[in-house]
Chain A
Amino acid sequence: MADGQIVVSGLTKQFRKVRAVDDLSFTVQPGRVTGFLGPNGAGKTTTLRMLLGLVTPTAGTATIGGRRYVDLPDPLKIVGAGLEASSFHKGRTGRDHLRVLCAAAGLPAARADAALEMVGLSPAAKRKVKGYSLGMKQRLGIAAGMLGDPQVLIFDEPANGLDPEGIRWMRTLLSGFADQGRTVLVSSHLLSEVQLFADDAVIIAAGKLIRQGPVAELTNLDGGKSVRVVTPEPDKLFTALKLPASAVTRDDDGGFLVAGVPAPQIGKTALAAGVELHELAPQRADLEKVFLELTSGKAGIR
């Protein structure tokens, strides 16, 4: 199965009184890391669980390579998943946990050792899970997902509990998977995290799709067109630029945000007018800011 496209279409889940996921549609492409973003309680985990056949949708479909998860003949060989509320028997060793899954998936037990090696858990393989740190459990969860060498990887909040070193490792691992042409879908409620390791982002709030697109594009939503300028002679510069007063706003740090004029043109005008420039920086909106703007008013707690 070369095609590992994930297609979510009209997906809806109604729990007793709460519509956790509401007519959600998006696609996830192979060869890219896709961040699945939303505030806590937005319906991310429920969506992933419906995608993996653990929760039955009220309406709509979620397919992987055109098929529902429960219809996949050898699921672990096609899709590897690590979910947040999934845990391990505390009295079982990490290696035994993986061997149990290997047996169920018809994979050789040697795959368990290979997966442990890949996530750097080999030294702790024969220790019981109750002695693992949160970061080690996250690594074990990733190892479980890698057992069948799958085309599609789905991880729920994999960076939770990882230290900066662990996050860097995760980022390298995920982008490595994407470079191999795999589909990588990773959920997170932390924007900074997604900005770090995702190529695409699917943003949801209150169970609904807010926006989908490449991270680079999303961060240019309201920025891109504004340039931050620091100069000792602002009046001279803005007169030379022939800007209306409404196009310039003063920021808290003594700089000016100029809208509607690209940075090279400001630099050229300043040079011609003999105005001294201390800073000239095109603004990229922080994904965090975009996210808060997009999801504000759609509280996570319902």
Chain B
Amino acid sequence: MIRAIRSELLKVRTTSLWWLILIGVVGFTAVAVAFNMLATYVTLHPDSVGPRGGGTGEGLLNAVTGLYTSGQYAGTLLAMVFGILIFTNEFFHQTATATFLATPKRTLVIGAKLIVAVIVGVVIALITTVLAVASGAVFLSTQHADLYLGNADVLKSIGLNWLAFAIWAVFGLGIGALLRSQILSVILGLVAMLIGQTVVQVVLALLAQYFHESWLMKIAYYLPSSASSIMTSPQGGNGFQWWAGALILLGYGAVAAVIGTVITRRRDIS
């Protein structure tokens, strides 16, 4: 297993994928930090935008949490794309043959990729967190505002950030193993993450109205992207605790990975 993991890490290090992802992560985090600084500024100085504002403690708490976890949205997306690519690359570049010749036990290969996906997810999370927390704290101190770094909710959100990245990377790997086609996997992953949520929500809302069953609306909370946002919000959300969100997301990742593994074990490599 150690060998397989070493081999997979070396694969990541020996192509240009890692620094492309890195550039993406740093770039998106910078944009997100700037945006969240603006949002925090507005929350701190409500008079600057309109006649009345609600600079309440809770609004500020959410703004600061957002600032400290800047880049999570784009970062988790890139972590997922990375998860997809480390699997589908083997088929896109036809390296699967060499890989499975060196490690004929295919479950080992997928296990190693899973661990590498988690490692890279966590590394991406660390990069965004260091960037966001450092620049965020500097920004807050220039505004003579409380840094909130002693606040339990804020710390919890920062602490759970890495989990979101890791789980999304595993989720991506699962999609890749399931579909094997690089383009199809990336499109499906992005759709599930970006558009799918809204579409399903609208459909569910219509269904709920038609059948007068409000519980149908709640299904949307079990979708990957809302589970993710529930997990990383300070107080959970929609009546869910953060760990419920984590479990739902982990469930998706695990199901995708297990089905992908079963399929890969049986598939003919040609």
Contacts and interface: CB of A to CB of B under 8 A. Distances in A.
A91 B16 contact: yes
B97 A103 contact: no
Interface string A211-232: 0000000000000000000000
B270 A54 contact: yes
Nearest to A98: B98
A262 to B, nearest CB: 50
A72 B7 CA distance: 19
A19 interface: no
Chain A interface size range: 20 to 34
B107 to A, nearest CB: 11
Contacts of B259: none
Contacts of A88: 93, 95, 98
Given A87-B93, A89-B89, A104 B102 contact: yes
B100 interface: yes
A85 B15 contact: no
A93 B14 contact: yes
Interface in A67-123: 69-70, 72, 75-76, 81, 83, 85-93, 96-97, 99-101, 103-106
Interface stretch (A21-29, A45-53, A162-170, A241-249): A45-53
A101 B93 contact: no
Contacts of A72: 104
A144 interface: yes
Nearest to A50: B268
Contacts of B10: 96, 99-100, 103
B98 A90 contact: no
Contacts of A144: 98
A85 B94 contact: yes
Contacts of B48: none
Given A56-B266, A89-B89, A81 B7 contact: no
A94 to B, nearest CB: 11
A273 interface: no
Interface string B1-36: 001101100110011100000000000000000000
A104 B14 contact: no
A55 B93 CA distance: 19
Chain B interface size range: 20 to 34
A55 B268 CA distance: 4
B101 A81 contact: yes
A75 B104 contact: yes
Contact of B98 (A49, A91, A96, A101): A101
B226 interface: no
B95 A69 contact: no
A76 B93 contact: no
B269 interface: yes
Interface string B81-117: 0000000010001110111111111000000000000
Given A54-B269, A55-B268, A105 B93 contact: no
B15 A52 contact: no
Contacts of A45: 270
Contacts of A53: 100, 104
Contacts of B104: 53, 69-70, 72, 75
14 contacts: A54-B269, A70-B104, A86-B98, A86-B101, A87-B93, A88-B95, A88-B98, A89-B11, A89-B93, A90-B93, A100-B11, A100-B14, A101-B102, A104-B4
Interface of A: 45-46, 49, 52-56, 69-70, 72, 75-76, 81, 83, 85-93, 96-97, 99-101, 103-106, 144
Given A55-B270, A99-B10, 16 more contacts: A53-B104, A54-B100, A54-B268, A76-B102, A83-B97, A85-B94, A86-B101, A88-B93, A88-B98, A89-B11, A100-B11, A101-B7, A101-B98, A101-B102, A104-B3, A104-B99
The 10 closest A-B pairs by CB, nearest first: A87-B94, A104-B7, A86-B97, A96-B14, A104-B102, A103-B7, A54-B269, A55-B268, A70-B104, A103-B6
